C-alpha cells in the first residue's frame, strides 16, 4: 500500500459517523469495505434472487458513492503509463493490496524483471463449478499534458463532458452524486473504472452476505496500451493457474446509445511508424524548394495512396484474408439503436466515412493515421524543406487477417512504388543510391478474435447482463477497438466475452479522458450480476 | 550600446599590446576601428587602383580577423527574432551606434510604435555623383532550439559544417583563422554577416585612407523574416531620404559552386497556413476510425492534389500569369558551374525534383510544404483520430504573378473540391453543415522582381564584383529565395541588384545556421569594391 488516498475531510466525516477500528483502517487504505465479508454465511444466488441482489447492490452503492469515486480517484493518481515505470509498478502494488484485503491470493506476474506486472488474483468459492477470469488493464495511453484541461493524473470532477462543463467539488456534496457528472483523468475510463466496478461489486455482494457464484480470477494487465508485449509469455508460463471456463474483458466503452453492452470479439491491431527521408538537414525552400525532394509532400502522397477518404485501404492484397461479415453479426448490428445522427452532432462532423453505419464500419479493417509530423507549423514555421516526415499509423484487423500479412503487404506495396524500405535511418550511401527511402518500425501486433454468440456460456452472460440492466443489453459482434484477446483464446482456450461499462464519449486514447458516473453505477450492477448470479 | 561583447581575454590581450584610449573604447563597444578615419585626406579610387585597394583590404582583414568575428558573435547574441521584440530593438540600437561611430547620420525608422525599427544611415562623399543603398536585414528566422546543436544565440565556431565538426576555441587562436571554420548561430549568415562585411569593408577602406566612391546609405531591416509587414509604409514615408541610384541587397547565399555571386531579381512569396477540421476532439480510432473522417488523411490528400512529387503545382490556373523565362536569363543560367551532383551528395538525396537543373528550377513558381502537423507520432502517438491537421505552405512567385491571384486560385480550387473555406475555427453549426472544412490564414505576400542585367549600372556592379573576386562572378537571373525588393523597386524607383556573400550550405531558415569564414572574407572584399570603386 503506497499511500492513504481518501481525503482527510471524508475520513473525518466517516470517523465522526462512528466508523472505527479495522473497517476505518481498510477504508483509509483505499478499501471501502465496511464489514469484513463473512464467506461462511453467504450463499450463491440463483436467477430468481437476481433482482433482489441487484437491488441490494444498488442500495450499497448509493450509500458508498463517495468512497467508490475516491477509490477511482486514488488509482488514477498512480501514473500507470508506459513512460512512467515507477508509477505503473506502484499501481500494481496498490491493486495487489486491494485484492489481498478481500481475501484473494495474489501474485504479480512478470515476463522479466523491469517489465510491467500482471496482477493475478484468485479466490475460490466452495460450491462453484465454473471459474471466471475478470480481465482489465491498469495502464493508460500516453499523455500530452498540454492538451488536457487539467493534469491527467490529478482527477477533476465536472458536471458534463464538454468545454462548457464546470468543476465540481464532489467531496463536499451531501446526498447522492449526480450520475451525469464525470471524473476526468488518464485511464479513469480505460480501464480503471472496470477495476473499481469489480471491487465495488465484490464488496456490495459481501456486505449483503452473498458469496460469488463462480470461482473468481482476476487478471489486471499493466501494458495493454503498449501493445501487450509480454502478455503471451505470462499467459504461457501461468496457463494452469489461469485455467477457467470464461474470460470477461472489462475494456472498451458501451454502445453509443448508452445501453449496457456485451461484445463478442475485437479487431486485431498492428502499429506502424514510418519515416520518409528528405535532405540530411532542413534546407531553405526558396533556394531548393523545386529541386530537393520534400518529404512532407512524399508522405502526403504516400498516405493518399494507401487509404482514401472513405476509409478504403488501397494497398493491393490487403483484403485478401478478409471474409464476409457473418449473417449473425450483421443481424446483431441491425438490432442496435441508431446513433449516427446524434454522434455527428456530438463530434461536430458534417459527414462520415463510407456509406454504412458506425458499428458496421468497425467490422471492416481500418488504416488509421494517428499522427503526421514534418517541419514546423504556426509561429515556428520556417521557410525550409523538412529533413523528414513521420507517419504514425495503426491498422485494425478483422478475423483471419494476420499482422505478418499486413506487414508483408505494406512492404510489398512500398517496394512496388519505388520505395527503398529500411529499418533504421539510412547512411549516406544508402541515401544516394535510392530515390525514395522510408524506414518502418512495426510493433508485433495481434490478430482479431470473434466469439460464438450462441453458446451456452454466451447465453448465460447475456442473461446476467440483461438482469443487471433490467433490459436487453446491446450485443456487438466485434469491438472496433483492440484488446489482445486472441492471445487469451489461443493460449487459455476459454471463451471470451467483452464486458464494457464506460461511456462511449470518454475521450479514451485522447486528452481529457473521462468517466460518466452513471456508467460506473451500472457497471457495478453488471459486475455484481456476473459475480453473484452467473451460471451455465 | 547595450553591452560590451568582446571577450575579456581578447580585450586584455589587445590592451597588453598597447591599445589605448579612444580606439580601445571603440573596440570594446563593438567597433574594431583602430584609427579614426580621416575623410579629408582620403580619395575615391578608380578602376586602375582597384587591385591595390583589394590588396589593402585583404591585409587589413588579415590583421583584424578576431575582431571581425567578435563583431559577428556580438551581433548574433542579440536575439533579433520576431518572437523577441526586446532583442530585436537591442540589435537596432547596436547597429545605430556602430554606424554613428563611423560618422553616419542614423535614424531608426518605424511604421508605428512597438514595431521593428529599420536602421537607416547615410554618409555623403563630397565628390561622389552616385548614391548607393546597402540593404540587409538584421532579424532572423524563428528557432526551435531543441533542434540545434547549441544555443542559436550563443555562437559557436566549428571546424566544418556537419555533425562530425568539432568546436573550436577561436579566441585562443594565434595567427590567421582557418577560412573553412564556421560560426554557428541564428541570423549569423542571414543577414548579420552582410552587415559585418559592410562595416569591415568600410573600416578597411578608412584605414587605408580611401573614402567611398559613392554616397552611402544603409537600410538594415528588422522584420524581413516576418514578411516585411511595415517596409512599404516606411519606404513611402521616407522616399526622399532613401533616394538613390542603386540598391545592393546583402541577403541570400552565393552560388553553390562557392563563386562570388550577383543576382538580378528574386521570387515573390505568399505564406498559407491551412487547418483541416476533424472531430471536435480526438477520438479512439478503434471505435470510430472507419467512420469519423480523419483530418490527417484529408490533409494528405489535399497536399497531393495541390503539388506532385516533381514540384509541379496542380492548382488550376496557378500558372496563368507565369511567362516563359527570358532567353538572357536562360543563357546566364547555362553559364553557371554545374553543382547538382555535388549538392546531391551534400544533401544526401538520391534524386531531385523535376528534370532541369537547380537554378533553372528556381525560375519556376514553387509550392513548398514547410510543415505538416496532425495528432502525435513516436512515443506520444495514441490510437486516436486527430481533431485537426495543419498544413504550412509557402508559395514562391515568379515575375508577373500576383499574391492576390495565388490566393484566389487556391481558394477557388478548394471550393471546387468541396471544401468550405473559413478564416477561423468553425462553430458547431458550420461543422455540421459542411462535409469538409478548412480554415486559411494568409500573409500579405509580395510579387517577384527581375532587374535588367545589361544596363550600365548592372555592368558597373558586375565589374566591381569581378575585380573584388579576381575572376568572373556567378550571375543569377533570379534568387530562389524571396526578399521584398519588389517594394523597393515600386516605391524607390531604383535598380536593385543582389550582393550575396554567405555560403549556400549555411542552414539558413533551419537549425544550425552557420557562416563559413572564407565567405565573410570574400564578402568584405566585395563590399570594399562596391564602396571604394563603383562608378558608372
H/E run at residue A388: strand A388-397
Checking if the pLDDT of A301 tops 70, the result is yes
pLDDT at residue B418, rounded to an integer: 97
Contact of B281 with A346, CB cutoff 8 Å: no
More confident residue, A48 or A480: A480
More confident residue, A116 or A284: A116
Please report the sign of the dihedral spanned by the C-alpha atoms of residue B304, residue B310, residue B316, residue B322: positive
Quickly state the pLDDT bin for B481 (edges 50, 70, 90). Answer: confident
HSE-CB of B355 using CA atoms within 13 angstroms: 0
B224-265 pLDDT per residue, tens: 998 888 999 999 999 999 999 999 999 999 999 999 999 999
Contact of A385 with A404, CB cutoff 8 Å: no
Closest-CA residue to A442 (of A406, A418, A414, A388): A406
B189-229 pLDDT per residue, tens: 999 999 999 999 999 999 999 999 999 999 999 999 988 88
CB contact under 8 A, A353 and B298: no
CB contact under 8 A, A396 and B286: yes
Grid cell digits, residue B205: 577602406
pLDDT at residue A127, rounded to an integer: 85
Nearest CA in chain A to B286: A481
More confident residue, B33 or A58: A58
Contact of A152 with A80, CB cutoff 8 Å: no
Residues B510 and A286: their CA atoms lie apart, in Å, by: 12
- CATH number for the B268-322+364-442 domain, one of 1.10.260.30, 3.40.50.1000, 3.40.50.300, 3.30.70.360? 3.30.70.360
pLDDT at residue B152, rounded to an integer: 98
**What is the CATH architecture of A269-329+364-442?**
2-Layer Sandwich (3.30)
Average pLDDT, chain B: 90
CA A34 from chain center: how many Å? 30
Checking if the pLDDT of B534 tops 80, the result is yes
Return the number of CB contacts < 8 Å for A and B.
Answer: 382
Please report the sign of the dihedral spanned by the C-alpha atoms of residue A73, residue A74, residue A80, residue A81: positive
H/E run at residue B497: strand B496-498
Quickly state the pLDDT bin for B379 (edges 50, 70, 90). Answer: confident
Contact of B394 with B368, CB cutoff 8 Å: yes
Q: Are strands B215-221 and A268-277 parallel, antiparallel or unpaired?
A: unpaired
Quickly state the pLDDT bin for B45 (edges 50, 70, 90). Answer: low
Checking if the pLDDT of B38 tops 80, the result is no
pLDDT at residue A483, rounded to an integer: 77
Contact of B388 with B273, CB cutoff 8 Å: no
- Interface probe with A: pick from B344, B347, B505, most Cβ of A within 10 Å: B347
- Contacts B481 to A, Cβ<8 Å: 284, 286-287, 383
Please report the sign of the dihedral spanned by the C-alpha atoms of residue B353, residue B357, residue B358, residue B363: negative
Domain ranges in chain A with CATH number 3.40.630.10: 8-266+448-533
A341-374 pLDDT per residue, tens: 999 999 999 999 998 899 999 999 999 999 999 9
H/E run at residue A219: strand A215-221
B127-183 pLDDT per residue, tens: 899 999 999 999 999 999 999 999 999 999 999 998 899 999 999 988 899 999 999
- Interface probe with A: pick from B305, B342, B348, B448, most Cβ of A within 10 Å: B348
Nearest CA in chain A to B355: A291
- 3-class state of residue A307 by DSSP: strand
Residues A111 and A231: their CA atoms lie apart, in Å, by: 8
Checking if the pLDDT of A274 tops 50, the result is yes
Domain ranges in chain A with CATH number 3.30.70.360: 269-329+364-442
Of A83, A382, A391, the CB nearest to B142: A382
CB contact under 8 A, B304 and A301: yes
Of B292, B354, B362, the CB nearest to A347: B292
Of A284, A372, A381, the CB nearest to B508: A284
B400 exposure class (CB count in 10 Å sphere: 0-12, 13-18, 19+): middle
pLDDT at residue B502, rounded to an integer: 98
Smallest Cα distance from A482 to chain B, Å: 7
Of A267, A300, A510, the CB nearest to B300: A300
Quickly state the pLDDT bin for B482 (edges 50, 70, 90). Answer: confident
- Contacts B83 to A, Cβ<8 Å: 379
Largest CA distance in chain A: 84
Residues A360 and A478: their CA atoms lie apart, in Å, by: 10
- 3-class state of residue B31 by DSSP: coil
Quickly state the pLDDT bin for B444 (edges 50, 70, 90). Answer: confident
Q: Are strands A167-168 and A265-266 parallel, antiparallel or unpaired?
A: unpaired
Superfamily holding B8-267+456-533: Zn peptidases (3.40.630.10)
Residues A71 and A61: their CA atoms lie apart, in Å, by: 13
A232-272 pLDDT per residue, tens: 999 999 999 999 999 999 999 999 999 999 999 999 999 99
Contact of B468 with B248, CB cutoff 8 Å: no
Contact of B302 with B276, CB cutoff 8 Å: yes
Checking if the pLDDT of B6 tops 70, the result is no
CB contact under 8 A, B361 and A280: no
- Interface probe with A: pick from B142, B290, B361, most Cβ of A within 10 Å: B290
0.95 exceeded by the pTM? no
Quickly state the pLDDT bin for A114 (edges 50, 70, 90). Answer: very high
Of B253, B293, B385, the CB nearest to A351: B293
pLDDT at residue A45, rounded to an integer: 54
| Residues counted in chain A | 536
A121-136 pLDDT per residue, tens: 999 998 899 999 999 9
Grid cell digits, residue A415: 517496394
Nearest CA in chain B to A442: B378
List C-alpha distances in Å: B388 to A146, A370, B274: 16, 11, 10
pLDDT at residue A46, rounded to an integer: 54
**Which whole number is the average pLDDT over B323-337?**
90
Residues B69 and B178: their CA atoms lie apart, in Å, by: 12
- Contacts B252 to A, Cβ<8 Å: 287
Of A252, A273, A381, the CB nearest to B377: A273
pLDDT at residue B33, rounded to an integer: 42
pLDDT > 70 in chain B, percent: 91
pLDDT at residue B175, rounded to an integer: 87
Of A301, A308, A508, the CB nearest to B309: A301
Please state whether A493 falls in left (phi above 0), alpha (psi between -120 and 50) or beta: left
- 3-class state of residue A390 by DSSP: strand
| Residues counted in chain B | 536
Grid cell digits, residue B87: 532583442
Of A252, A368, A434, the CB nearest to B385: A368
- Contacts B277 to A, Cβ<8 Å: 348
Grid cell digits, residue A10: 471524508
Residues B215 and B207: their CA atoms lie apart, in Å, by: 18
- Interface probe with B: pick from A297, A325, A385, most Cβ of B within 10 Å: A297
Residues A487 and A230: their CA atoms lie apart, in Å, by: 11
The fold adopted by the segment(s) A8-266+448-533 is Aminopeptidase (3.40.630)
pLDDT at residue A47, rounded to an integer: 55
pLDDT at residue B227, rounded to an integer: 81
- Contacts A309 to B, Cβ<8 Å: 293, 297-298, 301
Q: Which residues of B46-59 are buried (b: 16+ CB within 10 A; e: fewer)?
A: eeeebeebbebbbe
Closest-CA residue to A75 (of A139, A171, A11): A139
Average pLDDT, chain A: 90
CB contact under 8 A, A281 and B510: yes
CB contact under 8 A, A83 and B293: no
ipTM field: 0.80
Residues B328 and B320: their CA atoms lie apart, in Å, by: 22
Smallest Cα distance from A523 to chain B, Å: 20
A164-202 pLDDT per residue, tens: 999 999 999 888 999 999 999 999 999 999 999 999 999
Smallest Cα distance from B415 to chain A, Å: 16
Q: Transcribe A50-114 into DSSP letters.
A: HHHHHHHHHHHHHHTHHHHHHHHHHHHHS--BTT-HHHHHHHHHHHHHHHHTTT-EEEEE-SSTT
Contact of A517 with A173, CB cutoff 8 Å: no
pLDDT at residue A316, rounded to an integer: 94
Grid cell digits, residue A331: 443481424
Amino acid at each position: 500500500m503506497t499511500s492513504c488516498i481518501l481525503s482527510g475531510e471524508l475520513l473525518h466525516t466517516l470517523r465522526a459517523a462512528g466508523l472505527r477500528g479495522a473497517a476505518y483502517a481498510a477504508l483509509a487504505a483505499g478499501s471501502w469495505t465496511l464489514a469484513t465479508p463473512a464467506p461462511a454465511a453467504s450463499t450463491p444466488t440463483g436467477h430468481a434472487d437476481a433482482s433482489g441482489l441487484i437491488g441490494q447492490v444498488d442500495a450499497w452503492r448509493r450509500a458508498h458513492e463517495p468512497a467508490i469515486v475516491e477509490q477511482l480517484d486514488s488509482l488514477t493518481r498512480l501514473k500507470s503509463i508506459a513512460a512512467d515505470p515507477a508509477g505503473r509498478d506502484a499501481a500494481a502494488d496498490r491493486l495487489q493490496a486491494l485484492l489481498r484485503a478481500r481475501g484473494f491470493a495474489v501474485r504479480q506476474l512478470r515476463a522479466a524483471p523491469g517489465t510491467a506486472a500482471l496482477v493475478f488474483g484468485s479466490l475460490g468459492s466452495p460450491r462453484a463449478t465454473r471459474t471466471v477470469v475478470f480481465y482489465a488493464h491498469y495502464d493508460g495511453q500516453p499523455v500530452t499534458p498540454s492538451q488536457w484541461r487539467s493534469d491527467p493524473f490529478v482527477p477533476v470532477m465536472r458536471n458534463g463532458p464538454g468545454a462548457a462543463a464546470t468543476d465540481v467539488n464532489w467531496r463536499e456534496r451531501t446526498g447522492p452524486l449526480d450520475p451525469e457528472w464525470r471524473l476526468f483523468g488518464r485511464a479513469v475510463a480505460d480501464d480503471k473504472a472496470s477495476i473499481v466496478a469489480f471491487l465495488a461489486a465484490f464488496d456490495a455482494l459481501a456486505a449483503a452476505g452473498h458469496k460469488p457464484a463462480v470461482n473468481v480470477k482476476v487478471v489486471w494487465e499493466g501494458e495493454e496500451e503498449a501493445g501487450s508485449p509480454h502478455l503471451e509469455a505470462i499467459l504461457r508460463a501461468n496457463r494452469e493457474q489461469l485455467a477457467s471456463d470464461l474470460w470477461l474483458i472489462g475494456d472498451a466503452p458501451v454502445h453509443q446509445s448508452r445501453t449496457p453492452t456485451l461484445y463478442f470479439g475485437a479487431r486485431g491491431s498492428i502499429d506502424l511508424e514510418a519515416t520518409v527521408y528528405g535532405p540530411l538537414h532542413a534546407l531553405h525552400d526558396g533556394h531548393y524548394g523545386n529541386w530537393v525532394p520534400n518529404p512532407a509532400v512524399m508522405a502526403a502522397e504516400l498516405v493518399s495512396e494507401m487509404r482514401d477518404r472513405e476509409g478504403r485501404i488501397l494497398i493491393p492484397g490487403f483484403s485478401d484474408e478478409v471474409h464476409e461479415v457473418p449473417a449473425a453479426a450483421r443481424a446483431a448490428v441491425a438490432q442496435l439503436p441508431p446513433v449516427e445522427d446524434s454522434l455527428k452532432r456530438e463530434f461536430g462532423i458534417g459527414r462520415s466515412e463510407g456509406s454504412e453505419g458506425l458499428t458496421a464500419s468497425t467490422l471492416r479493417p481500418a488504416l488509421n493515421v494517428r499522427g503526421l509530423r514534418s517541419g514546423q507549423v504556426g509561429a515556428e514555421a520556417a521557410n525550409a524543406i523538412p529533413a523528414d516526415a513521420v507517419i504514425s499509423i495503426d491498422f485494425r484487423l478483422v478475423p483471419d487477417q494476420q499482422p505478418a500479412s499486413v506487414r508483408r503487404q505494406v512492404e510489398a506495396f512500398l517496394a512496388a512504388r519505388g520505395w527503398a524500405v529500411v529499418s533504421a535511418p539510412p547512411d549516406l550511401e544508402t541515401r544516394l543510391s535510392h530515390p525514395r527511402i522510408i524506414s518502418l518500425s512495426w510493433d508485433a501486433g495481434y490478430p482479431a478474435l470473434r466469439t460464438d454468440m450462441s453458446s451456452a456460456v454466451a447465453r448465460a452472460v447475456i442473461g446476467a447482463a440483461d438482469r443487471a440492466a433490467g433490459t436487453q443489453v446491446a450485443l456487438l459482434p466485434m469491438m472496433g477497438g483492440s484488446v489482445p484477446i486472441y492471445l487469451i483464446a489461443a493460449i487459455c482456450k476459454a471463451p471470451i466475452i467483452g464486458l464494457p461499462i464506460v461511456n462511449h464519449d470518454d475521450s479514451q486514447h485522447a486528452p481529457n479522458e473521462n468517466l460518466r458516473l452513471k456508467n460506473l453505477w451500472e457497471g457495478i450492477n453488471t459486475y455484481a450480476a456476473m459475480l453473484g448470479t452467473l451460471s451455465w
